[in-house]
Structure 1
């Protein structure tokens, strides 16, 4: 990877001051992806998005059936250290090679994605506010707060229609891991947010406020 021209002491991080890092967290099905996509669509090339889901740990050593039984809603399911490393590089204006997760096989894809730094970097995920080091890299932390009944309905629709899951498997996963992990880790992490947005991308008033703040940062 090509290094930039900045000179720094060993271990010292050089951060480009004009890059704004926004964390968007919330429970599964809360609407955080909708909020992220709306911001990205409106600001286009100014925005870079990295998703915590792409940093699920690989489990090539397991069978598909074994991977199906893993708890994907616990902090230990993620390679958060790699995400932190990549976010630091992006904040320095450097390109990273991000893993790509394949939900249909419950494992990382063999593909990777080249992520270039934008003036705004959005970090999205259910547990991104649970890790203090990751939190400290964000300038703004937004928690999308949505009723649990609505979240499970959205999750069922998404996983069955987009991720080729059966209805029974989605409900079982929700009851055994998603719900208890939300209560143990996701909900408590809300205290680390600067802004709490009900309904995520469906909240147009909040969306407009966030958009205006970003545009102000970009000088537009």
Structure 2
């Protein structure tokens, strides 16, 4: 079973993937992060003298696709997570279930500022890039939730996965 977990930067996708994985038997789950498939910095498009990590051309989707596919042959559950994860159509078609983690603009900026020092225009760019490239796929997701609040959606996601595995 292959689950896609997509959503805005700093929304909790990676944390969710690892929390879900911890629920299952050790060695039965593979977690793959799209961040690990970025091209070398010199190959990534630039915007206003900064590396544009939010651009689709920054990611080696073909290599990620192959690793997700190969992992599905070895593991009972593959959790693939990332900012632009639903943009690549062949990858999107691999997913048995799709989860989308949304976040408010205010919470996104608060979380980014906790970890990074970035100009406001770059925060605006990240927000706009998500909505340009990824946001349109939210309607295709089996589970969409807002991570701005305190509701823990991991148990709901685990329930969805277990139900699907039993079918």
Partner of residue 42, structure 1? 23
Q: Is the 8 A contact 2:6 2:85 kept in 1?
A: yes
Residue 189 (structure 1) aligned with residue 137 (structure 2): yes
For the structure 1 residues 212 and 61, does the alpha-carbon distance in structure 2 shift closer, same or farther, using more than 3 Å as the test?
closer
What do residues 139-193 of structure 1 show as CA deviations (whole Å, max 9, x unaligned)?
Answer: 000001111110111122133xxxxxxx2x3545313x31221221122221332
- Greater share of helix: 2
Instruction: Report the secondary structure of 2:161's partner residue.
Output: helix
Shift of 1:52: 0.4
Partner of residue 95, structure 2? 138
Report the TM-score, using the length of structure 1 for normalisation. Answer: 0.65
Instruction: Report the secondary structure of 1:29's partner residue.
Output: coil
147, 159, 162: which one aligns with 1:212: 159
Q: Is the 8 A contact 1:24 1:36 kept in 2?
A: yes
Instruction: Report the secondary structure of 2:41's partner residue.
Output: coil
Shift of 1:28: 0.6
Question: Where do residues 15-54 of structure 1 align in structure 2 (5 Å cutoff)?
Answer: 20-43=1-24, 45=26, 46-54=28-36
Shift of 1:54: 0.5
Report the TM-score, using the length of structure 2 for normalisation. Answer: 0.84
In 2, the alpha carbon distance for the partners of 1:189 and 1:170 equals 28
For the structure 1 residues 182 and 92, does the alpha-carbon distance in structure 2 shift closer, same or farther, using more than 3 Å as the test?
same
Segments of 5+ residues of structure 2 without an aligned counterpart are none
RMSD: 2.6
Segments of 5+ residues of structure 1 without an aligned counterpart are 1-19, 94-117, 160-166
For the structure 1 residues 195 and 214, does the alpha-carbon distance in structure 2 shift closer, same or farther, using more than 3 Å as the test?
closer
Partner of residue 88, structure 1? 69
List structure 1 runs of 4+ shifted beyond 6 angstroms.
none
Instruction: Report the secondary structure of 2:24's partner residue.
Output: helix
The number of aligned residues is 163
Structure number, greater radius of gyration: 1
